[in-house]
Amino acid sequence: DVKVTQSSRYLVKRTGEKVFLECVQDMDHENMFWYRQDPGLGLRLIYFSYDVKMKEKGDIPEGYSVSREKKERFSLILESASTNQTSMYLCASSSPRDREGDEQYFGPGTRLTVT
Amino acid sequence: GESVGLHLPTLSVQEGDNSIINCAYSNSASDYFIWYKQESGKGPQFIIDIRSNMDKRQGQRVTVLLNKTVKHLSLQIAATQPGDSAVYFCAENKRNQGGKLIFGQGTELSVKP
């Protein structure tokens, strides 16, 4: 089974702190994604990556950056956390080599609170 | 702009009844759709998918129907069980953009015993 893990289930940070959210997948997937999930807004794409060292902005990249130094790991960085970044963060991965090619496998999520 | 949305935010059904969860999409060029289930405290899990060259696809106790004329998608769950209680999302898959997904806001399904 595909496994996508996220470094923390719950995280509390202070305004202005630099925050790292880590995601690791064990299926050699090329594509990795970071979403945030908020009530009434659904899942919104922050950043995604097609391969190592590559990154693309999603729909709401402002205030975030990402790093993909290894194929299995995709990090989301909040350079200076703000209260409006309090949210559930979901990581996902997929591979164009898999059957339909586009199914995304999700991690359990990290609930981040910025105070 | 394009969007994927769901008709109802909540749905309550009796255990054993059939459930129907609806989704509307606005991009007529979309060619691939996915339904996800998200249980409390977990990430979304794939349920079933369908391509635009199909009208219907069946899985185990689930059926997805696609009506391209009115750009409508539905998920039917037969003999709904308490374990089906979750939030259900439809998503449009932008295949020509590297597998990006656009999600609807979700419908919360509650199953009454």
Give the CATH number, domain containing residue B83: 2.60.40.10
Whole-Å CA distances, A88 to A99, B20, B87, B99, B111: 29, 27, 15, 22, 25
- How many domains does chain B contain in total? 1
- Which residues pair with residue A6 across a beta bridge? A23
* Mean of pLDDT over chain A: 92
Q: Cβ contact (<8 Å) for B101 and A104? A: yes
Using CB atoms, pick whichever of B44, B99, B105 lies closest to residue A102. B99
Say if residues A81 and A14 touch (Cβ distance below 8 Å). yes
- If pLDDT is split at 50, 70 and 90, which confidence band does A90 have? very high
User: Which fold, A4-110?
Assistant: Immunoglobulin-like (2.60.40)
pLDDT classification of B1: cutoffs 50, 70, 90: very low
Which residues of chain B lie closer than 8 angstroms to A49, CB-CB?
none
Of A111, A113, A69, nearest to B42 by C-alpha is: A111
Is the CB of A108 less than 8 angstroms away from the CB of B93? no
Residue B8 confidence (pLDDT) above 80:
no
Taking the CA of residue A42 and the nearest CA in chain B, the distance in Å comes to 4
pLDDT of residue A40: 78
Indicate if the pLDDT at residue B5 is higher than 70: no
Instruction: Decide if B56 contacts B63 (C-beta within 8 A).
Output: yes
- For residue A48, list chain B residues with Cβ-Cβ distance below 8 A: 98, 100
Query: Can you give the residue range of the structural domain that contains B8?
Result: 4-112
Query: Residue B97: what pLDDT?
Result: 62
Distance from CA of A4 to the nearest CA of B (A): 10
Question: Using 50, 70 and 90 to split pLDDT, how confident is the model at A2?
Answer: low
Rounded to an integer, the average pLDDT of A15-25 is 97
Distance CA A75, CA A34 (A): 9
Contacts of B39 in chain A (CB under 8 A): none
Please report which confidence band the pLDDT of residue A101 belongs to, taking 50, 70 and 90 as the band edges.
Answer: low
CB–CB of A31 and B46 under 8 A?
no
**CB contacts, 8 Å: A100 with chain B:** 32, 49
Domain boundaries, chain A: 4-110
Residue B75 bridge partners (DSSP): B21, B64
Strands (E), chain A: 4-6, 10-13, 19-25, 31-38, 42-49, 56-57, 64-70, 73-78, 87-94, 105-106, 110-114
CB contact under 8 A, A96 and B99: yes
The CA distance from B83 to B70, in Å, is: 31
The residue ranking higher by pLDDT, B24 or A98, is B24
